[in-house]
């Protein structure tokens, strides 16, 4: 079994949750999301982020608007929808359950 592959899969499993959390704080540009994820050691490339953002938009969880830029083409800024906020809240509950369960298992010293 490959350790690196398992680590990548663990990170991918929480990517949507992290992205929705970032977007829930207010309008955000995709490169700012990439920067925050990378600084948190969740390595994501544009080829992963943009398809995920498209899936979230098609699911009605996020929306975007185009904003003119002084330094180039217009930029797409993402916001979370009401449905996205509810989805995020449910994911947050699941996350807390997983943290509690995992902590219980890894701290058990039978």
- Domain carrying residue 39: 22-93
Q: Which helix (H) or strand (E) holds 76?
A: strand 72-80
Is 7 inside any structural domain? no
Is 15 inside any structural domain? no
Is 100 inside any structural domain? no
Contact 78, 84 (CB under 8 A): no
pLDDT recorded at residue 29: 94
pLDDT recorded at residue 44: 85
Q: Over the chain, what is the mean pLDDT?
A: 92
Lowest mean pLDDT segment, chosen from 3-7, 51-55, 78-82, 92-96: 3-7
Is 33 inside any structural domain? yes
10-45: per-residue pLDDT in tens? 888 899 999 999 999 999 999 999 999 999 988 788
Measured CA to CA, the distance from residue 100 to residue 82 in angstroms comes to 27
Is 107 inside any structural domain? no
**Count of domains observed in the chain:** 1
List the alpha helices (DSSP H) in 1-110: 3-13, 15-24, 30-39, 46-58, 82-107
Return the CATH number at 84. 1.10.10.10
pLDDT band at 110 (very low <50, low <70, confident <90, very high): low
Contact 66, 74 (CB under 8 A): yes
Is 65 inside any structural domain? yes
Measured CA to CA, the distance from residue 3 to residue 68 in angstroms comes to 44
52-71: per-residue pLDDT in tens? 999 999 999 999 999 988 88
Is 62 inside any structural domain? yes
Is 73 inside any structural domain? yes
């Amino acid at each position: 079994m490959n350790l690196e592959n398992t680590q990548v899969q663990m990170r991918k499993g929480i990517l949507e949750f992290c992205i929705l959390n970032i977007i829930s704080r207010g309008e955000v540009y995709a490169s700012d999301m990439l920067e925050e994820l990378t600084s948190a050691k969740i390595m994501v490339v544009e080829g992963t982020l943009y398809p995920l953002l498209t899936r979230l938009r098609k699911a009605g969880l996020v929306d975007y608007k185009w904003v003119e830029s002084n330094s180039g083409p217009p930029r797409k800024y993402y916001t979370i929808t009401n449905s996205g906020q509810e989805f995020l809240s449910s994911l947050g509950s699941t996350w807390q359950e997983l943290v509690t369960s995992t902590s219980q298992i890894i701290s058990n010293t039978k």
